Amino acid sequence: MNNYTFINGGVTSPMGFTANGVCAGVKAATSAAITKAIAANDSPVIPNGKRDLALIACDRVCNAAAIFTKNLVKSDTIFVTQKHLQNGRAQAVIVNSGNANACNPDGYEKAEAMGRLAADALGIDENDMIVASTGVIGQPLPLAPIESGVAALKDILSKEGGSNAAEAIMTTDTVKKEWAVQTVIGGKTVTIGGIAKGSGMIHINMGTTLSFVTTDAAISSEMLKAALIEAADVSYNMVSVDGDTSTNDTLAILASGYAGNTEITEKNEDYYIFLEALTAAFKAVAKKLAADGEGATKLLICKVSGAKDEQAAKIIAKSVICSSLVKAAMFGADANCGRVLCAIGYSGAQVDDVKKIDVSYSSAAGEILVCQNGCGLAFDEDKAEKILLENEITIIITLADGNGEAEAYGCDLTYDYVKINGDYRT
């Protein structure tokens, strides 16, 4: 039985948090026009404009932690956020889409300025700001729209605004990702909520570009960091859309403590209850990110069991989910087991006996064994096609090497992935 329940909600569900998102015109070079439009319409949202600036704030300083991309080329927002989180505290998040503020000569100064603008508007310490950006790399970040956007945002922060914040961090995402989950810790109801964005440049090791999580649990920043790492390891770190790791990946969490539970400061029972809820939520987000991968028509889940150990199982699951050939075959509903076996073989994981690998495909339409003992089977092609025409496919790999298990998440490779990325900047 699970100790948690998913509820409708998002980043503002936990006590103490408000948020909103507006169209500030970061991407458009038309920030002045947009500012005027905002004034004229008495609305922070440009008619038909895409929201591109989000502010999430707590009414008090929170314990906080974050983990970041492993890419050596990092957006300067990451260095600013790392500096601000050195004391394990934060109170608000300012984040834009449309421009990654990466590979710019003045990126650091602008990321600091962005944080300062938000902090000043909120009347809080600029060192308590988490700053993030996502979008095109290598183009100067325009500060004017961020300034006018922040001015608009500070007056409309609300519980209801959480969804707008989720929308404002979307880039090529087709659906916004927000979630909330509740659990009980020491007799107190604890809520965790979050928003996330995909959907390209997504790979193992922080398989997201941005995700912001809030909670009203009382928990130390050290334990927040530990829980983030453990939960991300089996969720965000097991998602791949295209094998490209972004320069901006940031997964941050803020804990207001309003739930009133005894503060979690060590890996006790309360920590594991919190971790269980956080992990379940992250796994659900990982699936959403994969399903909304650029151009994707199908969520692919690769379940590996019987591997030598968990590490081998993870390597195999990731290799299969990352294979362009597997991904293209799934797009075409082609039950080609050769591509799966091939991806297992070049994964780099130790496999004691490739002649003991079984492979099945499973979906809402049924399950079919296509490979037994390392050999392709003659199977019912019609049944296989029916299974693979569903929009959520599980590739089940069973080895006979040990007890290692793992699950990875990906999507099919489609014409639209090529289309989206053939001309991303325009």
Reduced DSSP (H G I as helix, E B as strand, rest coil) percent helix, strand, coil of the chain, to 5: 35, 30, 40
For the bound state, the minimum distance from the C-beta of residue 274 to a copy of itself, rounded and expressed in Å, comes to 31
CA distance 101 to 136: 8
Only segment of 46-54, 307-315, 330-338, 401-409 that touches a copy of itself (CB under 8 A)? 330-338
DSSP count for the chain of H helices, then E strands:
12, 15
Q: Is 351 in the site for a copy of itself (CB under 8 A)?
A: yes
Q: Which of 118, 137, 195, 290 contacts a copy of itself by CB under 8 A?
A: 137
Q: Is 27 in the site for a copy of itself (CB under 8 A)?
A: no
Whole-angstrom CA distances from 190 to 14, 57, 180, 259, 277 are 8, 18, 11, 6, 10
Residue 289 is inside which H or E element, if any? helix 269-291
Active site residue 208: yes
CA distance 411 to 393: 9
Q: Which of 38, 64, 201, 301 contacts a copy of itself by CB under 8 A?
A: 201
**411 Cβ partners below 8 Å, 6+ apart?**
241, 290, 291, 293, 296, 297, 298, 299, 300, 327
Of 284 and 325, which has the nearer Cβ to a copy of itself? 325
- Judged by CB under 8 A, the chain residues 230 through 259 that form the site for a copy of itself are 242-247
For the bound state, the minimum distance from the C-beta of residue 208 to a copy of itself, rounded and expressed in Å, comes to 14
Whole-angstrom CA distances from 48 to 21, 44, 45, 287 are 14, 12, 8, 29
- Judged by CB under 8 A, the chain residues 253 through 312 that form the site for a copy of itself are none
Only segment of 117-125, 275-283, 284-292, 415-423 that touches a copy of itself (CB under 8 A)? 415-423
Q: What is the DSSP letter of 186?
A: T
Would you tell me how many other CB atoms lie within 10 Å of the CB of residue 32? 12
Only segment of 17-25, 39-47, 102-110, 221-229 that touches a copy of itself (CB under 8 A)? 102-110
For the bound state, the minimum distance from the C-beta of residue 129 to a copy of itself, rounded and expressed in Å, comes to 24
Whole-angstrom CA distances from 317 to 204, 245, 277 are 11, 18, 23
Of 264 and 340, which has the nearer Cβ to a copy of itself? 340
Q: Is 341 in the site for a copy of itself (CB under 8 A)?
A: yes
Of 106 and 269, which has the nearer Cβ to a copy of itself? 106
Q: Is 203 in the site for a copy of itself (CB under 8 A)?
A: yes
Q: Is 183 in the site for a copy of itself (CB under 8 A)?
A: no
CA distance 61 to 58: 7
Q: Which two tokens stand for residue 97?
A: 């889409």
Q: Is 402 in the site for a copy of itself (CB under 8 A)?
A: no
Angle between helices 324-331 and 310-322 (to 10 degrees): 60
CA distance 385 to 405: 27
Q: Supply the DSSP string of 333-385, one letter for each residue.
A: T---HHHHHHHHHTS----S-GGG-EEEEEETTEEEEEEETTEE----HHHHH
**40 Cβ partners below 8 Å, 6+ apart?**
none
Of 1 and 425, which has the nearer Cβ to a copy of itself? 425
Q: What angle do CA 326, 332, 334 make, to 5 degrees?
A: 65
Q: Is 419 in the site for a copy of itself (CB under 8 A)?
A: yes
Catalytic residue (one of 12, 18, 171, 208)? 208
Q: What is the DSSP letter of 420?
A: H
Q: Which of 342, 405, 337, 340 is nearest to 371 (CA)?
A: 337
For the bound state, the minimum distance from the C-beta of residue 164 to a copy of itself, rounded and expressed in Å, comes to 27
For the bound state, the minimum distance from the C-beta of residue 151 to a copy of itself, rounded and expressed in Å, comes to 28
Of 138 and 366, which has the nearer Cβ to a copy of itself? 138
Q: Is 375 in the site for a copy of itself (CB under 8 A)?
A: yes
Of 231 and 341, which has the nearer Cβ to a copy of itself? 341
Only segment of 42-50, 210-218, 231-239, 417-425 that touches a copy of itself (CB under 8 A)? 417-425
Map residues 107-136 to x or -, x wherever contact with a copy of itself holds by CB under 8 A: -----------------------------x
Residues that bind a copy of itself (CB under 8 A): 70-74, 100, 102-105, 136-139, 200-201, 203, 242-247, 322-325, 328-329, 331-332, 334, 336-339, 341-346, 351, 354, 370-371, 373-377, 413-415, 417-426
Query: Active-site positions?
Result: 208
